[in-house]
Amino acid sequence: MRDPDAPIGIKEELDRCVKCGMCLAECPTYRLEADENESPRGRLALMEGLVQGHLDGDEPLIAHLDHCLGCRRCERICPSQVRYGHLNDQVRELLSDRKASRWAGLIQKQSLLRLGTKLAQAVPTAFSAPLGGMHRLHGIARALGNTGTAPSPGEYPAPSSKTRGRVGLFLGCASAAQQGGALQAALQMLRHAGYSVSIPAASPCCGALSQHAGDPETAARLASENRDAFDKKLDMVLSIASGCGTHIDSYQPALASGHQDICRFLLECGSLSTADFAPLPKRVFLHTPCSVENVYRGGDWARGLLALIPDLEIATAGEAGQCCGAAGDYMLRYPEIAARLREPILDELRSDTGLILLTSNVGCAMHLAHGLREQGAATEVLHPVELLARQLIGGPA
């Protein structure tokens, strides 16, 4: 334990749990194992024993805590409003020698991640087979294919005839490396909607992986760098990855211009209508990340946007609020559990061919695309804004 004063605040929050058990049936890992230690209530009991000194931070205890995906489904349904995600981060900070930090440190280095993505796309996975965990990373990095290059830092003016404001676009680390096409689509849609877009040169990783790995100092530093990177006079800062977005929303102090998810902003800005999009008589599957459903409470944002495309049929992939298993670097740390959590979604998609699967979090996109690739499915995995941009009639100049 590094901070002798930290357990006091943790204990106060732990006392909010009345042990009702409503969280059990909603927890992804409890559903898999039916083990109380793999449930929010059980993990809270382990945390309480740890901070009171009745339990040691040994390997089995850390494993049970570490198996939590951070989906925060328990928070969504908890009648006592226990802030489980906050507690989990605090307790992880108390524990040392966490293997989560190895992947967190690698993933959030933007230049290294972009280079690694290019190498992964160029080198067949057979070459990395003897490398264990790096082989998994290689396969996941290849899963989405070559999605294009993220837009360069700079100022992108809106068409002069329809200027409505000026916003910032957060590129992120994984999104910039893995979903360059989605970022380009976001830029296109924003300009079409009448917004000039500012992309700063110095914006780093959002810091979510560091925060959830028990490294609040690095997370705070990255948050500070992001606050400094964005112009204070922007109307809003936007992100395309819900995992990044929910963490950016937790910054204290917040970004000066505020922050929103791209789907929410485009849906509520009032600039788009069905007349902007060409019809698409096709059935697509929409996956709603747990961060959108449980934290944002924005399960209707992407669906509302996609409804602007005439003739599009939108089917649901996965159960609302249930994590697909990606969970940041979880799919690398616990690939077997992550694959089991992903399986129900893949089962829903097996009966169709030539599908488009839409999801608004980069980790979910990579994890689901990896599973589809492994089973040989010809399914394209896109961000919702990519499909909107494809169907857009007349983009910005």
pLDDT average, residue stretch 388-392: 97
* Residues forming beta bridges with residue 316, ordered by sequence position: 286
The domain boundary, picked from 77, 97, 117, lies at 97
**What CATH number does the domain containing 301 carry?**
3.40.50
pTM of the predicted structure, to 2 decimals = 0.91
With b for 16 or more beta-carbon neighbours within 10 A and e for fewer, the 132-153 pattern comes to: eeeebbbbbbbbbeebeebbee
In this prediction, residue 350 carries a pLDDT of 81
pLDDT at 357: 97
Q: Are 286 and 358 in contact (CB under 8 A)?
A: yes
| pLDDT digits 0-9 by tens, 114-147 | 656 666 666 666 555 555 556 667 778 888 988 8
pLDDT tens-digit series, residues 180-225: 999 999 999 999 999 999 999 988 899 999 998 888 999 999 999 9
* 350 token code pair: 């097996």
Q: Is residue 292 part of a domain?
A: yes
Q: What range does the domain containing 19 cover? A: 6-97
Mean pLDDT of 2-19: 74
- Percent helix, strand and coil across the chain, each to the nearest 5: 50, 10, 40
What integer best gives the mean pLDDT of the chain? 89
Output the six-digit token pair for 81. Answer: 């409003």
Across 152-160, average pLDDT: 93
Distances (CA, A) of 187 to 100, 206, 268, 369: 33, 19, 17, 24
The answer to the question of residue 65 being in a domain is: yes
How many domains, the chain? 2
Domain final residue pick, 97, 127, 160: 97
pLDDT per residue over 324-358, tens digit each?
999 999 998 999 999 999 999 999 988 666 789 99
In this structure, how many other beta carbons lie within 10 angstroms of the beta carbon of residue 9? 14
Share of the chain above pLDDT 90, in %: 72
Largest CA distance in the chain: 67
**pLDDT per residue as tens digits for the range 285-313:** 999 999 999 999 999 999 999 999 999 99
In a domain, 173, yes or no: no
In a domain, 301, yes or no: yes
93 assigned to some structural domain: yes
Report in angstroms the alpha-carbon separations of 381 from 324, 356, 386. Answer: 14, 6, 10
Q: Are residues 341 and 324 in contact, defined by beta-carbon separation less than 8 angstroms?
A: yes
- Is 240 among the domain residues? no
Highest-confidence range of 79-93, 96-110, 293-307, by mean pLDDT? 293-307
Query: How far apart are the C-alpha atoms of 278 and 274, rounded to whole Å?
Result: 8
Output the domain CATH number for residue 24. Answer: 1.10.1060.10
End residue of a domain, out of 76, 97, 118:
97
* Residue 29 maps to a domain: yes
Tell me how far apart the alpha carbons of residues 243 and 239 are, in angstroms, rounded to a whole number: 10
- Residue 5 pLDDT: 46
Determine, yes or no, domain membership for 149. no
